[in-house]
Amino acid sequence: MTPQGVPCRAAAAALVAALVAAGAAGCGRRGPPVPLQLRQPLPPRSLTVSAPAGRLTLSWKAPRKDLAGRPVEVLVAYRVLRAAAPPGAGGCTGCPDPGDVVAEVRPPAAGPDGDPPTSWADPDARPGWSYRYRVVAVAAPNRAGRPSDPVAVTWVPVPPPDARALPLDAAAEIVVDAPRVPDGVQLAAFRVYAGGRRVAQEPAGTGAVRVAPLENDRRHVLEVRTVARTPEGWEVESPGTPVTVTPRDTTPARPPADLAVLNEPGGLRLLWVPAGTEPYAAVVVLRAEGDSPLAEIARLPGTATGYLDRSAQPGVAYRYAVAAEDRAGNRSAPTRVVGARRR
């Protein structure tokens, strides 16, 4: 090797090192591989128990990361673990842990606000039995994580109430008779649902629930549920009692305003202005002579704003008023009385 070749070889080695470094920078840095046992998802979050519509229901939230702290890419299922103890066993303290797999639940589709909670209703829950539940998240392809923290409950269902609905104007009053509940269970409220959505609630001691607003002249199907609190302190709803009601319009329209009576060659001309936002179905003209009571002399379309009384006799003193009727036939109070004498 000649002395002149040493610089050439050093330059070539530096060039190769630079190319290797550039290639590494272009491909990005790779960290150490994550062990498979750390790629399992963390346990589901916020496991709770409730009893909507008389069904023992678990709810929980999806884990966001795996055991290595990386985001969980795809969850394919949840496994529900359950242990049970019969009545009189003193709860589920001696139940096997973590219990048996009783259900596999698919995660719900993500919405605009992220992953919604997942729920599962236990179809085999028996009154008086004690249960302990845990939930396991399963990531793709089939990596099951650790069980969640447990939630324990003794299933105490409550019966639905007796209920009947009374129609009101754009509303309904649900009269409720409280059911007999198991010992140690405290009645809390009555709830009314329409189409699965809660629309009203009142404390159990009131005995009635008002539901408003409701569209008049339409049949509404409602559901009334008992709400109680168990000795363990958690809330339970009963199955629903269905009731139907058709509210009726019983509120009259506002009477016309600014009634005036003018003398014309053909008789006495009445003029008025509609009031309020509800359209009139009809306008009723009332007249009286002397001290006699007002009586209907004409019935006009709801759009009318005037009337010519051709039957008024010259020299006779009359008193006039006008009332309005809505589509349901409710008549308003009459306007102020206006006196006139035909010339």
> Looking at the predicted structure, is the pLDDT value of residue 33 above 70?
no
> Looking at the predicted structure, is the pLDDT value of residue 209 above 70?
yes
Sign of CA dihedral 276, 278, 280, 285: negative
CA nearest neighbour of 48 among 133, 146, 147 = 133
Question: What does the pLDDT read at residue 36?
Answer: 57
| Segment 237-240 long-range contacts (CB within 8 Å, at least 24 positions apart) | 237/51, 237/52, 237/53, 237/54, 237/158, 237/191, 238/53, 238/54, 238/157, 238/158, 238/159, 238/160, 238/161, 238/179, 239/53, 239/54, 239/160, 240/53, 240/160, 240/193
CA nearest neighbour of 99 among 68, 131, 73, 129 = 131
Question: What does the pLDDT read at residue 291?
Answer: 87
Share above pLDDT 90 across residues of the chain, in percent, rounded to a whole number: 78
Instruction: State the amino acid at position 333 in one-letter form.
Output: A
Given pLDDT bands bounded at 50, 70 and 90, which one contains residue 4? very low
What value does the mean pLDDT take over residues 172-200? 96
Given pLDDT bands bounded at 50, 70 and 90, which one contains residue 31? low
Using alpha carbons only, give the angle 96, 97, 101 rounded to the nearest 5 degrees. 95
Given pLDDT bands bounded at 50, 70 and 90, which one contains residue 213? very high
Question: What does the pLDDT read at residue 153?
Answer: 94
In the three-class reduction of DSSP (H, G, I as helix; E, B as strand; rest coil), residue 204 is classed as helix
Given pLDDT bands bounded at 50, 70 and 90, which one contains residue 110? confident
pLDDT tens, residue by residue, 180-189: 999 999 999 9
Question: What does the pLDDT read at residue 114?
Answer: 67
On average, the pLDDT of the chain sits at 89
- Determine the Cα–Cα distance for residues 32 and 2; give it in Å rounded to an integer: 44
CA nearest neighbour of 254 among 329, 134, 334, 165 = 334
In the three-class reduction of DSSP (H, G, I as helix; E, B as strand; rest coil), residue 118 is classed as strand
- Determine the Cα–Cα distance for residues 90 and 130; give it in Å rounded to an integer: 8
Question: What does the pLDDT read at residue 281?
Answer: 97
> Looking at the predicted structure, is the pLDDT value of residue 15 above 70?
no
Question: What does the pLDDT read at residue 293?
Answer: 96
Given pLDDT bands bounded at 50, 70 and 90, which one contains residue 23? very low
What value does the mean pLDDT take over residues 154-176? 97
What structural domains does the chain harbor?
A: 37-154 (2.60.40.10), 162-245 (2.60.40.10), 257-341 (2.60.40.10)
Place of tokens 């359950």: 82
Question: What does the pLDDT read at residue 336?
Answer: 96
Q: What residues form DSSP beta bridges with 174?
A: 165, 209
Question: What does the pLDDT read at residue 30?
Answer: 53
Do 152 and 158 meet the contact criterion of CB atoms below 8 Å apart?
no
What value does the mean pLDDT take over residues 63-87? 92
